[in-house]
Structure 1
Amino acid sequence: MSSIVYLVTGSNRPDGVGFNAVVALLAQSLLNHVIAAVRNPAGAEELQKIAQENERLTVVKMASDLESVKTAFNEVAGLPVVRENGIDGLLLNAGVTLSGEITASQIDTPTLLAELEGNTFGPMRVAQTFLPLLRLGKQKKIFYTSSVIGSTELAGEGAQPGGFTAYGLSKSAGNHFFKRLYNEIGKSESFTIVCYHPGYIATSMLKGGVKAGDRIGDVVFVTPEQGGKSAADNFIAGGHSGEFINEEGKNLPW
């Protein structure tokens, strides 16, 4: 049987969702070939160790700017496994958070633009650039790792912090783009396109020493391993196309 090829962005940090999603995808099936895109392959030591031991993992360099994305596309398109099969799915996990506790009345344009670059423009460029390879694949999946903080209806409510304004704006813009992309090619070309909130995960992106098991209101933070496996499971399961869902597969308000 031919390989199933997935491209995962933002997969360099062992305490991150992307890295652990890569590990989970490799473990789910011997047919899965995973291409892990990172800004600095030389610095992704744990990922490189896995690649040395497992030929079903390929590590490529990719930042968020268009030139870097196009260079990565050419490298990926030249891989034998991709020439034969195309790409079956994109798990767009790369992202940044810089705004911390900055509120709406305090946010500045440079911070907002920086978060839009990492959380909106970067994933948008990757999806647009890699569409030709996705069209050759069997599954045609695009999962955009969003956040409930990007929900306009839920903005600042419940367990959501009052800050993270730029982060929420950038994820909301990303949701809008991928919903539009679904409207364009979802049904007409049989693409599964999902905006995905991975849950509350204790990663190094969070400040203040939040640990797995910590609780804020009704929310319990989970480990990066749990978050990565949930992301991989939802990615593999598909369904929910054109929707905004959480780690339990439940719909979230836009």
Structure 2
Amino acid sequence: MSHWLIAGASRGIGLEAARQLSARGERVTASARSAAGVAALKAAAPEATTLQFDVRNEAEIEAAAAQVSDPVDALIVNAGAYGPQRQSSTDMDFEGALDLLSVNTLGPLRVVQAFLPVIKRSARPRIVMMSSILGSMSLEGTFNVAYRVSKAGLNKIAQCLAADLKSEGVIVVAMHPGWVRTDMGGADATLDVRDSVAGIIRVAESLTLADTRRYLDYRGQDIPW
């Protein structure tokens, strides 16, 4: 039995990950931003240990991390948002974009830094930074600029973490979950959340130190940075 920590598990991919892992008997610690989110998490995965924090709030994250003393084998940093309505290169909601960067780019780093002591105590520590193919610098397109920038920034953070933590045996990857039918992905998305999460878990379990610094999709296939 492994100990999985899922940051951002009140709905969508994070909630399904907590459900699937709990259902097969893994030890799960999972977080939500609000009390309502924690309630949803408890309903879906009653065996999971729950934490409450906003990834923008460093003090809340550190207080939550202080509640976790056992080694964490796999951290899935899933918390994220899609951003403001106006986010094109010619019409940007700058305040909304800055908030999105705090959630999608710096939020995961806040989580990793706070929980790193218990992650390092695992025999095979893995960190999965939930990114998006929209963060790939090789991908064309101009819609949702702030979201793309936030995920490109997250990818760079994943690269840096991988380099900084490799000597300590910590595996770090960025991962694209696919276009998933969730509140964020929308009803037209091509992938069921159960299939996406099953793939994410399968890939996370298979990771070795040779995989660190890779940018993968939920099937384990490489994506160009």
- Equivalents in 2 of 1:51, 1:151: separation in Å? 33
Residue 228 (structure 1) aligns with: 197
Q: CA deviation at 1:202?
A: 1.4
2:50 is aligned to 59
Among all aligned residue pairs of Structure 1 and Structure 2, give the percentage whose two residues are the same amino acid.
28
Alpha-carbon distance, 1:113 to partner: 0.6
Rg comparison, structure with higher value: 1
Higher relative contact order (CA 8 A, sep 6+): 1
**Closer, same or farther: CA 43–146 of 1 in aligned 2, 3 Å:** closer
Q: Which runs of 5+ in 2 are unaligned?
A: none
The question of whether the paired residues in 1 share the 8 Å contact of 2:127 and 2:173 is answered with yes
Q: Give per-residue Cα distances to partners, 1:199-249, cap 9 Å, x unaligned.
A: 00111114xx5335xxxxxxxx11222222222222122243211011221
Partner Cα separation in structure 2 for residue 43 and residue 142 of structure 1: 23
1:251 pairs with 2:222: yes
Q: TM-score, normalised by structure 2?
A: 0.92
Q: 1:228 to 1:45 in 2, by over 3 A?
A: same
1:12 matched to 2:10? The reply is: yes
- Gapped runs of 5+ residues in structure 1? 157-161, 213-220
Q: Which position in structure 2 is the counterpart of 1:153?
A: 138
Pick one of 147, 152, 161 that aligns with 1:172: 152
Distance 1:110 1:101 in 2: 11
Alpha-carbon deviation of 1:120? Answer: 0.8
Name the aligned partner's letter for residue 67 of structure 1. Answer: A
2:184 is the alignment partner of 1:198: no
Q: CA deviation at 1:99?
A: 3.6
Aligned-partner Cα distance in 2 for 1:87–1:226: 24
Report what 1:129 is aligned to.
114
| CA distance 1:250–1:25, shift in 2 (3 Å) | same
Kindly provide the amino acid, as one letter, of the partner of residue 54 in structure 2. Answer: A
SS in 2 for 1:75: coil
Residue of 13, 20, 23 corresponding to 2:19: 23
Residue-by-residue CA offset, 1:21-55 (whole Å, 9 max, x unaligned): 11222234x3x200011111444433212454x3x
State TM-score, norm by structure 1.
Answer: 0.82
- Structure 1's consecutive aligned runs of 4 or more residues displaced over 6 angstroms after TM superposition are none
Aligned-partner Cα distance in 2 for 1:108–1:50: 35
CA distance in 2, matches of 1:125, 1:5: 20
